[in-house]
Structure 1
Amino acid sequence: MESWEPLKVLILGAGKGGTALIDLLARGAGVEVCGVADKNPRAPGLRLARSLNIPTATNVADLMAKDGAHLIVDVTGDATMPSQIAAMHASNVETMSGRAARLLWTLVQEEQELRAQLMQADKLATLGTFAAQIAHDLKNPLYCIREFAQFIEEELDPSRIKEYSREILKADTYLTSIVEGLTAYTRSSCSEPESVRLADLLDQAVKMARFATVSNEVEILREYQPVPSIHADPAELLQVFVNLITNAVQAMKGQGRVTLMIRSEADKILVSIKDTGPGIPATSLSKIFTPFFTTKERGAGTGLGLSIVKTLVNKYGGDIAVESEEGKGSIFMIRFPVPSPVN
């Protein structure tokens, strides 16, 4: 069987266009982004490249001096860049710039917009499965607020009025936490990644996943070791964790144990989500990350959830694997690269 060398691409320009290209090409099979250059050291594409352990430079000449690239994509918008490239690169290296690069950027942007729409649709579909439990959780504090408000109308003792007011404030705080959690989850992804703590996002995802079933008898075990923060869009990683924990809770029908683990593993950060559910049939394991494939009943899922999870994990240089045994449960393991230090 003939093996193919990956296409090695050098990206010049790490602004909006370069960032979009890195995002797409870093996920592509058979493509290796071997370097990114931009004269602005704070360019968003340079931060994304470092998080993926892709070599970066603020001097184009420094990056192009390294051998190995098959294709140079210039999205700097600098009219003098083509002549600079021609003077520096070897004759066997192809170049894409000008209108051709703008066309590629346009296609990449359209792909990003479509992917964002699919991800948002999956979020809303997940919220749809939460609807019954959300309504139940809203009903009780609203009832308390109404009852204590009526008590206040009829009460003359100032100390009792203060007591009732405190109960109303407690119910209001609880309602606010529900609304803020839903708002954070449905918020569209931001364009600027930031430093995020994986443990915080896992805990936030647990709060969301409790709406996945009317039964609330799931035990959550946390095994968190100190690990570095990673540079990512928190809304996207929250979607990853909500999806996986929700699947676990629903598979166990609200009864069982979910173990969340974070630890360092060589040059990786491992995040695992393990459940004691019925497990995944062996015939389905190889297909669960395929778009529109689902083991749930008709109407219970879009079939996009795990496909989106894999896409988002890959976006940040990670990989995801699953192990499962019928009757004993499943474990999803995500490995992110340890972020490179930024000078």
Structure 2
Amino acid sequence: MNKLHKPKPKIHLRSSIFILMISLIIVLLTDSVYYYYTKRMLTSELETKLQLIADNVAISIKHSKTGEKYVENLIGQNLRTASLAAQYRLDPDIEKVKNEELTVLSKELLIDHITLMKRSGDDIIGYKSSEPKEINMSTKTWSRDWFQAFNQLLDTKETSVESGQSLPHYWSGPMNTSMSNPQFVDKWGYYYDGRTNYILDPYVHDTFFRDYQRETGVDAVINEMIHGYTNHDAKEIAVFNTPIFLKQQEQYKKEGYTWFTDREILFGSYTMKDARDQEMVQAVMHSKQTKQLITTINGETYLKMFFPLQLDSPVVIGLTADYETVQQSIQQQQVNLLILIGSTALIAFILVILSIRFINRNREATAESIQEVYVDHIGSLFRSMKEQRHDFNNHVATIHSLVHLKEYTELDRYTTEIIGETTALNDIIQINVPALCAIVQSKVIQAVERKITFSHEVSDLNQINLGAVKATDLVRIISNLIDNAFDAVTVSKKAEDKEVRLIGVLEGNVLTFKVINNGDPIPSDRLKRLFEPGFSTKQESGFHAGLGLSIVKKLVDKYDGTVHVSSSEAETSFTISIVV
């Protein structure tokens, strides 16, 4: 018989493309989710860092303000001491004091300048001074508490204004830009106890105070956070003077100099600007909540955050951080993720292709195995039919001869024997598994040929669907067990009829087959070795490889089934059970 051509395994391209498309969609979704999650996580981490920086700046500002207030008051006390020393040296009549004398005295007292002030109508003016610009300078238009404090001193009253430093017969104004020389920020002291006809006004420039701020104050802390050894991720820190920054209060300027108390930025620097900064500061002042924005400055991306802070008056801390590091980190992680996903997808696609090829090959091999089973048994049936046709012609010739010779007794005996064989051969097996039906039918014919009485009791198997692979394996199991039984009764030394029975029953989802023969019993010492490859109870014949029962055991184990054998003088039975 010619062997059928084995087709090449087919790879289902559409299925592969579909799987690939689904995989790509999953990859894109995963990548998008990972991108936004990572971006949010890294941004949140940066925001937390900036929050910590803002908290540190706020604490530093409060502590430094206390220290600065102490230093400023200390300067004020020193100026009062200088006033007492100057009063001791100067004539109590302002007309008798010379400007040159004030210049010498300033140097001796280690102060920058001394001005003597007196009333002039409804004004109080600088009348004598070591600084020429202070002479005839009016104070009536000075803002805030200054002019009021001067009048209280000249009236020999204790100063009661809100700002500055009040001591007996003395008031020191807060540090501010000099009216006479706006290039300087000065600290003034004003003393009057009634023993002179003028207010003593010694003052110093802010050199010492600014040095203190740079070394230990808020600006020092900000500078350390931006330029220090530890990277805090902040590129710029600014403490906004909100009334001035929001244009709610007009700056006081003179000779191109902005008043120190009217500066937009109280501490830090403000060079990295965005058009939305005022809007953010206004929102923070209104809500008392932190605000933020992403901006691009000079082609670089930054995160700006604004925090509310309460000092003597409400202010806002603005922090600017480099957002490029976050984006670069996200991009790097994206690249790593895409490489990982791409490699995984490629490997998965290759595995899918290989799996499809493997499955197709297994299907083809299974189909070929099933086909071989069917072809072998159908071929066996055809051979038996040809033999029966030949025997039929011989039987017809013999019957014709017996009739012609009128040997009716012999004719009766002969036809009775033929009828028995014919009944056995015409017993069509009614089993719902075609492969099993064919193998049983072929074994019936073999049994007749080998003079073996073979009976079968297989329940209707309409309720199960074994599938081609399991049905083929079941045929191999039953075929090996029946062949083993046929061999057992053939070599048996018993004189009675040689009998083999096949019983099949379905109970629930468990299919059980039992093959029984009345051959010689199997010795107990051999029962345990029956399913070992190469072991046979019929080794003396030299024609058995001892593989049949080992194949049965392997196939039963494949379906997590059980196989049991029992043997006695009366019969030997093999029982297999598998879940269907």
Alignment TM-score > 0.5, same fold: no
Rg: which structure is higher?
Answer: 2
- TM-score of the aligned structures, taking structure 2 as reference length: 0.29
Higher RCO structure, 1 or 2 (CA under 8 Å, sep 6+): 1
